[in-house]
Amino acid sequence: MRPDPDYRATEITLRPRRGRPRTVRIEAGPNRRARVRILGPAVPDPLADDLLGQVRHVLRLDADLSPFYAAAAEDPELSWVVTGAGRMVRSPTVFEDVVKTICTTNCAWSATRRMVNAIVEHLGEPAAGARPDGPWGRAFPTPEAMASAGEAFYRDVARAGYRGAYLLALARSVAEGELDLEALGRASAQELSDEELEARLLALPGVGPYAAAHILMTLGRYHRPILDSWTRPTFAEKAGRRTASDGAIVRRFRRYGPYAGLAFWLFLTRDWVD
């Protein structure tokens, strides 16, 4: 996803069920609505419907957050979210979110961007009008494309370090049909409990407690706070404390129940939307 500098619009390149990827531009429209434009040549209605369905998925437009908003309305530090915050952007596929999450582990954000950009630039399929270089205008690569890239690609091009082996193993498992990550995204809490889902995520190559909590958030399971070297000190600073233990964080947001992780994240990122 490529947001404009003022965050009033963004572009994302999506892979439809049929045909080549297309880049979609989402921008602010009148009356608090969004305008969606499919860039490039005109598309038939079925393809437009496919792409618009993916946009709804990525923006989580169908999520019902009313129980979370009811709890936040009683919290002076989070009551601001009831105007509509909390629809966490996700990728079109669970596979993409898992790959990107692994690329965030034990590194600076600049390194994450470098790795992901290289993977998309060199392995992603371009949409019409995409520049010959760079990641923009390319769909995130398929598991098959990532599985076919050898170890040297992840070492020398993506420069993924130890993560390269994990990314390659993950892509091969999905490409060969041994692992169905998309089923995790389709499963309801009744079909797959939060605890069982978390256990399955922790069994994936390169996924530890931090990464599992992050992926759970993208799957709409918000109970687990994302605890890492940025979120812990950021919480302490915003809460006016010198330090904050994980237990203190859990207690602060326990009132939110299945939305505790979402409440924690929005508490940390209020200034991102001001």
pLDDT tens digits, residue range 18-32?
999 999 999 988 888
Looking at residues 155-177, what average pLDDT do you find?
Answer: 98
Place of tokens 């598309």: 43
Residue 210 has pLDDT above 90, yes or no: yes
Question: Which residue from 110, 112, 130 is spatially nearest to 121, judged by alpha carbons?
Answer: 130
Check the CA dihedral 199-254-100-161 and report its sign. Answer: negative
Among 31-35, 134-138, 260-264, which stretch is predicted with the lowest mean pLDDT? 31-35
Mean residue pLDDT across the chain: 96
Q: How confident is the model at residue 128 (pLDDT cuts 50, 70, 90)?
A: confident
Inter-CA distances, 235 with 4, 8, 246, Å: 28, 28, 10
- Judge whether residue 95 has pLDDT over 90: yes
Q: What is the CATH number of domain 94-216?
A: 1.10.340.30
Whether the predicted pLDDT of 274 surpasses 80: no
Give the chain as a 3 state SS string. Answer: CEECCCCCEEEEEECCCCCCCEEEEEEECHHHCEEEEECCCCCCHHHHHHHHHHHHHHHCCCCCCHHHHHHHCCCCCCHHHHHCCCCCCCCCCHHHHHHHHHCCCCCCHHHHHHHHHHHHHHHCCECCCCCCCCCCCECCCCHHHHHHCCHHHHHHHCCCCCHHHHHHHHHHHHHCCCCCHHHHHHCCCCCCCHHHHHHHHHCCCCCCHHHHHHHHHHCCCCCCCCCCCCHHHHHHHHCCCCCCCHHHHHHHCHHHHHHHHHHHHHHHCHHHHC
φ and ψ at 127, to 5 degrees? -85, 170
Q: d(Cα 75, Cα 8) in Å, to the nearest integer?
A: 28
pLDDT-derived band of residue 90, with 50, 70 and 90 as boundaries?
very high
CATH 1.10.340.30 residue ranges of the chain are 94-216
pLDDT tens-digit readout, 249-269: 999 999 999 999 999 999 999
For the chain, give the percent of residues with pLDDT over 90: 93
Give pLDDT tens digits for 228-247.
Answer: 999 999 999 999 999 999 99
User: Maximum Cα–Cα distance for the chain, whole Å?
Assistant: 58
Among candidate residues 166, 126, 127, the one with its CA nearest the CA of residue 147: 166
> Cα(51)–Cα(65) distance, rounded to whole angstroms?
24
Q: What was the pLDDT predicted at 92?
A: 97
The confidence band for 273, taking pLDDT boundaries of 50, 70 and 90, is confident
Six-digit token pair at 109? 């954000």
